[in-house]
Amino acid sequence: MSPSDISEAIARLAKERDAVILAHYYCVPEIHDIAHFVGDSLGLSQEAARNPAKVIMFCGVHFMAETASILCPEKTVLLANSAAGCPMADMVEPSDLEARKKELPNVPVLTYVNSSAKVKALSDICCTSANVTAVLRSLPGPRVLMTPDRNLAQYAQKLVPEKEVILWPGFCPTHHRLNLAEIQELKKERPQAEVLAHPECQPRILEEAHFIGSTSGIIKHCATSPSEEFIVLTEAGVLYPLAKQNPHKKFYQPKTPMICPNMKKNQVTDVLAALETLTPVIKVPEEIRLPALKAVERMLAIPRD
């Protein structure tokens, strides 16, 4: 089938199945073009919760489809490619979190949405990079255990100094591997460019940025900023919507590839196959879903900063 034939077949099947296609910004451009909604983790969670479609076709990674299942147990949740996982989410095991909670009684657990349903079920509240500081401020007491991203936790700690944030040793490999010297050299090459960074980057990288924000925050900033050039320090998939929305502006990235291999596993042929067969289905068991739902709903009740 030609690309246009695949796109037409997906549109037809989505209508027949009463399916909404949700895609993360980090997916390939072809996925953006067939999706009904493209967003970051918080935006996708919100759309999954409010969309009336009977089938949620998720183009992202496993924890995102799990979050949709947590919020919409009555719906069929599909994941375009079942092999699309998240290394950061794998860096916190439920048994390890249970043990840490015993060591820290009465300390609330704040968990980044980039985590498994089982870990969410052990948490008091979730957050995304778009609302982490607001969520952190909402928690009682002086101390908070935050999992699994230590870089996001350190960023939040800096903005909410009244809280002591206890770190978990997890990170996003795509953002964590950025090279400081490489970025400083790029800044010298492009002195007029604004540096935009995702808070999953290491603290020493964030110090080089003029703006720090979630993926959606970066996109919104570029649309309103008077700057004409930007150095973008987040996954390369964001360059596609940035270029579409700002055709007169220029965007640069460091030489070290900012590619999430798991996000790139989602292909339009996977979406077509999933809609044809209504598989693979992601379904969170009720004994995990119900406690996880409390943590996710508490997150959704707090607006992003």
pLDDT score at 42: 76
pLDDT score at 45: 82
Class of the CATH-defined domain 3-86+263-284:
alpha beta
* CA angle, 197 then 199 then 202, to 5°: 90
Q: Which fold has domain 174-252?
A: Rossmann fold (3.40.50)
Structure pTM? 0.95
Question: How would you class 226 by CB atoms within 10 Å of its CB: exposed for 0-12, middle for 13-18, buried for 19 or more?
Answer: exposed
Q: Kindly state the helix (H) or strand (E) to which residue 186 belongs, with its residue range.
A: helix 180-189
CA dihedral 260, 14, 292, 43 (to 10 degrees): 60
pLDDT score at 245: 97
> β-strands 76-79, 37-39: how paired?
unpaired
Question: 89-172+289-300 — its CATH code?
Answer: 3.40.50.10800
CA distance 100 to 184: 38
Nearest residue to 275 via CA among 52, 31, 56, 114: 56
Q: Kindly state the helix (H) or strand (E) to which residue 78 belongs, with its residue range.
A: strand 76-79
pLDDT along the chain (305 residues), means of 10: 96 98 98 97 86 97 96 96 97 98 98 97 95 95 98 98 98 97 97 98 98 96 98 98 98 95 98 98 98 94 72
Question: Residue 157 in 3-state DSSP?
Answer: helix
> β-strands 229-233, 250-252: how paired?
parallel
CA dihedral 163, 166, 168, 170 (to 10 degrees): 40
All CATH 3.40.50.10800 domain ranges of the chain, comma separated, are 3-86+263-284, 89-172+289-300, 174-252
CB-facing half-sphere around the CA of 156: CA atoms within 13 A: 34
